[in-house]
Structure 1
Amino acid sequence: MQIQINDVLRAYIDPLTEAEHEALERSLLAEGCRDALVLWNDVLVDGHNRYSICQKHGIPFKVTQNTNFKSMEDVMLWMIDNHLGRRSVSDFQRGVLALRKKDILAQRAEEESARLKAEDAAVAPPEPSEAEAEAPAAKVRTSREDIARAARVSSATLTQIEKIQKNATPELVEAVRAGTISINAAATVATLSAEDQITAVQGGRKFLQQAAKEIREQRAANRPQKPPKEAQESDGSAPWEGERTIPLSEVEQLRAEVAQLKEKNAALRAENAELRERISMLVDAS
C-alpha cells in the first residue's frame, strides 16, 4: 500500500522539537518501530515522525486501519483525544487542542440543529416509540468548562490561551511553547502592540516577566474606583416609584468622574510610552 501524507493532518499537531525528534530517532534505531502507524484508508493519521524516520533508515513498521472514521472531522477529533492522553503534552498544547475540539463539536451541533429543523419543516416527524420518548437525548458537551475539564486545564487557563491565540505574535506564541514565559504572563504581554511583543520576547525570560508585571501594575493603578452607594434620604422618605429626576449635584458628580477617567487614560498612555522606551533601552543594552 502506498501511504498518503495529508499536509493538513501532518501540521494539525505541533511538531516535535529538535531534541524530541533526535530522541525518537535514537529509539527507533535501537528498538525498531514497535507501535503500528494508524491509517484512514491510505492516509496516514498517526505516526508522521515515525514514518519519516523509518523511511530514512529503512526500518520496518506495521500499520493498522481505523474503520471508525467517517469524515476529516472524525480524524481530527481522534488525533486531539489521542494527544490529550499523553503525559508529555504541555498545558498550552492541551489548551490549543481543547479549543480546536470545542470548535469542531460546536460546528457539528450547529449543523445537526439546522438539519433537524429542515427535516421538521419538510415533513412531520413520526411519533417516537415509548423507549425513545423515555431515553434522554445525548448532549454534546461544548461548554468552556467541559472542554477545559477534558483537557485537564482550568477554565481560566483556557481563556488565557484563547487570548494568546487571538492577539499574540508568532514570536510570543513560540516563547510560550518553549516555556520561556508562562501562559498567564503571555496573555498579559499579548495586550501590547505587535512591535512591543517582539521587543519583549527579544529581551528574554526576565524581561518578559517584568513587562507582564508592569502591565498588571498599570491596570491596577488605572482601574476606576467604584462610586459610593447613594446615601439614603435624611428624612427616610422612599424614592418615587415613577421616573426619577437626577439631581443637579449627581450630574456634576458624574461629570467629575468622567474627567477623572480621562486623566487616568492620558496617564496610562504616557506610562505605555515610557514602557516602550524602557523595553528598547533594555534590549539595546543586552
Structure 2
Amino acid sequence: MLKKLKIDHEFQSKIPPLTFHERNQLETNILEEGRILHPLIVWNGIIVDGHTRYAILRQHPEIQYTILEKDFANRHEAIIWICKNQLGRRNLTPEQRNYVLGKQYEAEKLSRGGAHPRSVAPPSEAPIAQNEQLKGTGSATCDRIAAEYGVSRSTVLRAETFAKSVDVAEEAVPGTRQAILSGKLKTTDKAISAIAKAPQEERPALVQQLYQPKPDKPMRRTPKGAAAAQYKAIEEISAKMEQPAGPLEQSDILAELEDALRLMISRWNTCLAHNPDHRSACQAGIRRLAE
C-alpha cells in the first residue's frame, strides 16, 4: 500500500516543512516507538497530511503505520482541509500563518465559485486582486474566514495577496517560498507584491535583490536637549499622578518593575517584528542607552 501512495506537490506546498532538528526528532521518536502514532491522511491515493512521516516510512519500511482515507469533493476542498489543519498548529511562523490563511481563502473562493478542480491558473497568471467572477462569493467567504480566526477581513485579503505573491516569487526563483516562510529571508509585503506585479522576465532579478544584505541605516539620535525636555515633561506628568500614601511593600515594588519590564519587552518585540531591517541598529541603540 505504501508504494501506491502519491505526493501532490500543490498539496505539499501548503504544509510548512519541519526544520532539520524537528525532522530528526520525529524520526527518533518513530524508531523508538516502532510505529507511527498518527495516521497518514490520504485522498484518492494522494497524501494530504503526513509527508514527512511518509518519507521516514520509505527509509524504514518495517515501521507500522495506519492510513486514514478522507473524502473530498474536489482538490479545493482538500486544500481547505490542509490549511485549516495547519492553522490549528501553534508553531507556525507569522509568514507561514499568513501564507496558509491566504491559500485557504483562495481555495474556498474557488470551491464555492464552481470552478473546475483543475482550472486554477498558475501563480504567474493568477491576478493579485480578487477574481471579478468570484467577488460576491469571495466577500461572504472573506467575512466568514475572518470571524473563524478572529482577524479582520483586511487581514484575510492581505494574506491572499501575500500568498499569491510568494508563489510568484517561488516560480521565479525556486526555494524562495521556503526561505520567506521559514523567516530566513526577511522582506516586506510591499517588496513581495512588487515582484508579482512586475513583468515575468523581470521577476528573477527582483527576487535576487531580496537576498542581497541590506546595510544598516544610521540611527537618528534625538538631540540631547530635546531628549532632556521630553524626560522632564514625563517626570512632571508622573509627579502629578496619584501616588501611594505610605511606603510600598517589596512585592508591590517588584510588581511595578515587572509590569514595566513586560511593557518594554512587548514594545521591543512589536517594533522589531514590523521593522526587521532595523534590528541591528536598534540593538546598538539599546546598548548606547545602557552605557
Q: What is the TM-score when the length of structure 2 is the normalising length?
A: 0.50
Structure 1 outlier segments of 4+, above 6 Å: none
Q: Does residue 1:199 correspond to 2:205, yes or no?
A: no
Contact 2:77 2:108 survives alignment (8 Å): no
Contact 2:43 2:72 survives alignment (8 Å): yes
**Which of 9, 31, 40 is the equivalent residue of 1:29?**
31
1:74 is displaced (CA, Å) by 2.2
1:153 is displaced (CA, Å) by 5.1
What aligned pairs does 1:1-286 form with structure 2 within 5 A after superposition?
1-2=1-2, 3-8=4-9, 9-31=11-33, 32-57=35-60, 58-66=62-70, 68-111=71-114, 142-151=140-149, 154-165=152-163, 167=165, 169-170=169-170, 173-180=177-184, 186-190=188-192, 191=194, 195=205, 198-203=208-213, 207=214
| Pair 143,25 (structure 1): closer, same or farther in 2 beyond 3 Å | same
Q: Distance in 2 between matches of 1:140 and 1:52?
A: 37
3-state secondary structure, aligned to 1:111: coil
1:173 is displaced (CA, Å) by 4.7
Partner of 2:260: none
Question: Deviations 1:133-158 (Å, cap 9, x if unpaired)?
Answer: xxxxxx98744443344345555554
Paired letter, 1:150: E
3-state secondary structure, aligned to 2:188: helix
Question: Deviations 1:15-53 (Å, cap 9, x if unpaired)?
Answer: 333233222212212233111112224333221211220
| Pair 167,20 (structure 1): closer, same or farther in 2 beyond 3 Å | same
Paired letter, 2:88: G
Paired letter, 1:6: I
Unaligned runs of 5+ in 2: 116-136, 196-201, 220-291
Q: Could you tell me the percent identity over the aligned residues?
A: 23
The structure showing larger relative contact order (alpha-carbon pairs under 8 Å, at least 6 residues apart) is 2
1:187 is displaced (CA, Å) by 1.4
Unaligned runs of 5+ in 1: 113-138, 214-286
Contact 2:98 2:162 survives alignment (8 Å): no
Q: How many residues align?
A: 180
3-state secondary structure, aligned to 2:80: helix
Q: What is the TM-score when the length of structure 1 is the normalising length?
A: 0.50
Please identify the structure whose Cα radius of gyration is greater.
Answer: 1
Q: Distance in 2 between matches of 1:208 and 1:158?
A: 32
